[in-house]
Structure 1
Amino acid sequence: MKNYWIIILLVLANLFWGGHYVFGKFVVAEMDPLQITFSRWVIAVVFLFPIAQLIERPKWREVWKHWKVLLAMAATGVIGYNFFLYTALQYTTSLDAALINSLNPMLIVLFSVVFLKERLGLVNIGGVFISLVGVLLILTKGHLEQLLSIHYNKGELIMLLVIFIWTLYSVLSRKMKGVPPISATAISVLLGLFILLPFILFEGISLPHSKNAIIGILYIGFFPSVWSFVFWNTAISKMNASKAGIYLNLITVFTAIISIFLGNPISTIQMVGGLFVFFGVYLSNKKGKVLVEKKQVKVLG
């Protein structure tokens, strides 16, 4: 796959995830985290298997041989990340949650170097930090001193767990090299639904009733749940997880852009922050002198 196609896939994945934060606020008010998580994947699984069959025509028995890793992906990316994200948003603001989420790319870089033995150049590391600065400018509207005044509550602590879970998922996705990514996503989602089903049967499910919440759950079930995961897993199977992880900072930029279209204002310093993010993403993917060499560390089998 051409490098520019990988970049397009990563950008689109994060564009849809950016919308997830906006539309997710409509749904959280009417459904609890478990119900949202289950509902979105029920919608997604209807599309994932036909898409996988149409595009990849996989040998399903061969894919199922990797069930242990797929089960781990279901527990982390399908269930854990989403359930705890929705739970965190019940206790904290979107701003504080996004602030903590901005640590995710650096955590993926760290895990990728240690566990996947990936290499990083000085320019790439510089891109990570420039992108982070851009995210912080957007979130704080240029008032970086706000970072010192955050009082961490239950929601922020849960968000730390959220980014750790997504880092594990990204590392696991990289371990699935050679397995059709859409098919792997479809099976991991199916496994996730089987895990969630007993809890849903016990608790029951309430459907959203307002127009905004209905639109929100349909959006979440189709765009972030299907195409973001398909695009992310396809891209990460073709490039280093550490470099792909930097693109997660685009979530903040796209969330801000979507908010503009919904009538929310954005300041000049926030636009500057967006440029920082894009420049940082560009630098993180440039080839340069290797600063962090491969380490002979064996993990995750």
Structure 2
Amino acid sequence: MAASTLTDTLLDSSLPIVSDSGALASVANRSQPRPPTLQPAALTGPGTSAVCALHGPDTTIQVQGSRWKPIACVVLVELFKTGNILLGKVVVDGGMFVFSLLCYRSILGAFFILPFALLLESGKWKELDKHALGWLFVNAFVGYSLPMALYYNGLHDTTASYGVIFSSLTPLFTFVLSIFLGMENLHLKSKEGSAKVVGALVCFGGALLISLYNGKELHLWSPVIEGITKSSNGVVGGHHHLRGTLLLLGECICYAFSYPVLVKVLKVYPWKHWSSVLTCVLGGLQTCAIGIIMRRDKLAWQVGWNIQLLTIVYSATLGTAAKYWLNLYAVEKRGPVFPPMFNTLSVVFTMVLGALLLGESLTVGSLLGSAVVFSGLYMYLYGKAKELHVKTTSGSSNEKLQVQPTQLKV
């Protein structure tokens, strides 16, 4: 059986291993050693209200649901993501040590996901061996510790809206990486392949426009939240624009490289709930160790009853556990391409609320670049949706399509 592409694994996902930064870092939809069975033509179509991606060796189960519930779920996910970004911007600009934030939120997030692992995958932790633990450690570093550290430092040097735009480019970086690794074919002669390639190029063009062109600044409101650290020129945060851009690009590249690692994790340890818990724990231990090496003073690790504690609790509950299950529900009801279609909402929410609450100025360049990025992203998602539709409808109508993670020789 031919293996699916890496971007299939990215889009055919329901549960984030570590949820954050606006990027949709996800686990492939497997909780059993055998792959789930998908009903052909269940992923697309104007009247589709269900996707058959539930687990079972040889069974196909349709999950029916009302049309508005999946939409409400993904809108809430984008709102929670916006809250994560804005709170993160406030605390890092206020001087909170980035690695203490990452350590606390990761460990706390593991506790909130643990009950689901105990209930739904009871006893599966016993199957964990040293080989799987090693891959989980690598996944935690490449998929959480390193990219999140780059993200928050990049967020400190730029703005919340700037950071969320770059995070939305992660699927495109993954697509490009999969081409270089020989895991995805371009298929330029097909409409689906052409749409994906053109969409990727348009997105990168929009990102360059945002990075290189500012234009006129639009100051809409005075900030509601006062007391944010400002630089000597009065701008929120450090605003080392070039450095922040490079850090955010590094975050996207790290997430792109994390998906081949994630595929390997799913091969050696396919239990996604326990994988999520263990990745959170290992990510917390990694960021704790790195943080202690960088700063050993107790002040860097102290958290009072203030917005720092609120940020940690929020990111662990709504930003990790709630997003975890809302994404699962939306994917099961409407298919793997459905949640990414709403990624632009978090960009809009962040721009508006960042200007309203934090006093961030909007520029003509950021607005134009965002529009270009949105256009390219939807072109890419359109091509991906059509590609999935072709795969599910190819062959006999009685055949069942099985989706497996890409097999990597590493």
Q: 1:15 to 1:169 in 2, by over 3 A?
A: farther
- How far apart, CA to CA, are the structure 2 residues paired with 1:99 and 1:228? 19
Q: 1:81 to 1:57 in 2, by over 3 A?
A: same
Determine whether 1:162 maps to 2:251.
Answer: yes
Q: Who wins on radius of gyration, i.e. which is larger?
A: 2
- How far apart, CA to CA, are the structure 1 residues paired with 2:85 and 2:287? 22
- How far apart, CA to CA, are the structure 2 residues paired with 1:247 and 1:114? 28
SS at match of 1:146: coil
Q: Deviations over 1:45-75 (max 9, x none)?
A: 1112212222333511324452222111111
* 87-96 or 257-266, which deviates more: 257-266
Q: Deviations over 1:24-63 (max 9, x none)?
A: 1222114111111111112111112212222333511324
Q: Which residue of 2 aligns with 1:90?
A: 156
Q: Which residue of 2 aligns with 1:146?
A: 214
Q: Which residue of 1 aligns with 2:195?
A: 123
Q: 1:107 to 1:159 in 2, by over 3 A?
A: same
Q: Which amino acid aligns with 2:140?
A: A
State the shift of 1:263 in Å: 9.3
Q: Deviations over 1:68-97 (max 9, x none)?
A: 221111112221111222222333333544
Determine whether 1:216 maps to 2:305.
Answer: no
Q: Which amino acid aligns with 1:20?
A: N
Q: Which residue of 2 aligns with 1:293?
A: none
Q: Which residue of 1 aligns with 2:279?
A: 188
- How far apart, CA to CA, are the structure 1 residues paired with 2:355 and 2:278? 36
Superposition pairs for residues 175-254 of structure 1, below 5 Å? 175-177=264-266, 179-199=270-290, 203=296, 204=298, 205-209=300-304, 211-228=306-323, 251-254=346-349
Q: 1:227 to 1:112 in 2, by over 3 A?
A: farther
Pick from 17, 28, 47: which aligns with 2:112? Answer: 47
Q: 1:67 to 1:300 in 2, by over 3 A?
A: farther
State the shift of 1:166 in Å: 1.3
Determine whether 1:287 maps to 2:386.
Answer: yes
RMSD: 4.7
Q: Deviations over 1:181-201 (max 9, x none)?
A: 221111111122233344555
Asked if 2 retains the 8 angstrom alpha-carbon contact of 1:104 and 1:245, the reply is no
Sequence identity percentage = 19
TM-score, scaled to structure 1: 0.70
State the shift of 1:230 in Å: 6.8
TM-score, scaled to structure 2: 0.54
**Alignment size in residue pairs:** 287
Asked if 2 retains the 8 angstrom alpha-carbon contact of 1:23 and 1:216, the reply is yes
Q: Which residue of 1 aligns with 2:100?
A: 35
Asked if 2 retains the 8 angstrom alpha-carbon contact of 1:30 and 1:213, the reply is no
Asked if 1 retains the 8 angstrom alpha-carbon contact of 2:154 and 2:163, the reply is yes
Asked if 2 retains the 8 angstrom alpha-carbon contact of 1:85 and 1:162, the reply is yes
SS at match of 2:385: coil
Q: Which amino acid aligns with 2:214?
A: Q
Q: List alignment gaps of at least 5 residues for structure 2.
A: 1-37, 44-49, 54-69, 187-191, 216-238, 391-405
Q: 1:45 to 1:254 in 2, by over 3 A?
A: same
Q: Which amino acid aligns with 2:178?
A: S
- How far apart, CA to CA, are the structure 2 residues paired with 1:73 and 1:61? 20
Asked if 1 retains the 8 angstrom alpha-carbon contact of 2:100 and 2:287, the reply is no
Q: 1:245 to 1:176 in 2, by over 3 A?
A: farther
Q: 1:242 to 1:108 in 2, by over 3 A?
A: farther
Asked if 2 retains the 8 angstrom alpha-carbon contact of 1:246 and 1:284, the reply is no
Q: 1:298 to 1:155 in 2, by over 3 A?
A: same
Q: List alignment gaps of at least 5 residues for structure 1.
A: 291-296
Higher relative contact order (CA 8 A, sep 6+): 1
- How far apart, CA to CA, are the structure 2 residues paired with 1:98 and 1:72? 25
Q: 1:284 to 1:270 in 2, by over 3 A?
A: farther
Determine whether 1:106 maps to 2:172.
Answer: yes
Determine whether 1:19 maps to 2:83.
Answer: yes
Asked if 2 retains the 8 angstrom alpha-carbon contact of 1:123 and 1:286, the reply is no
- How far apart, CA to CA, are the structure 2 residues paired with 1:171 and 1:101? 18
Asked if 1 retains the 8 angstrom alpha-carbon contact of 2:337 and 2:381, the reply is no
Asked if 2 retains the 8 angstrom alpha-carbon contact of 1:40 and 1:218, the reply is yes
Q: Which amino acid aligns with 1:52?
A: A
Asked if 2 retains the 8 angstrom alpha-carbon contact of 1:185 and 1:229, the reply is no
Q: 1:255 to 1:280 in 2, by over 3 A?
A: farther
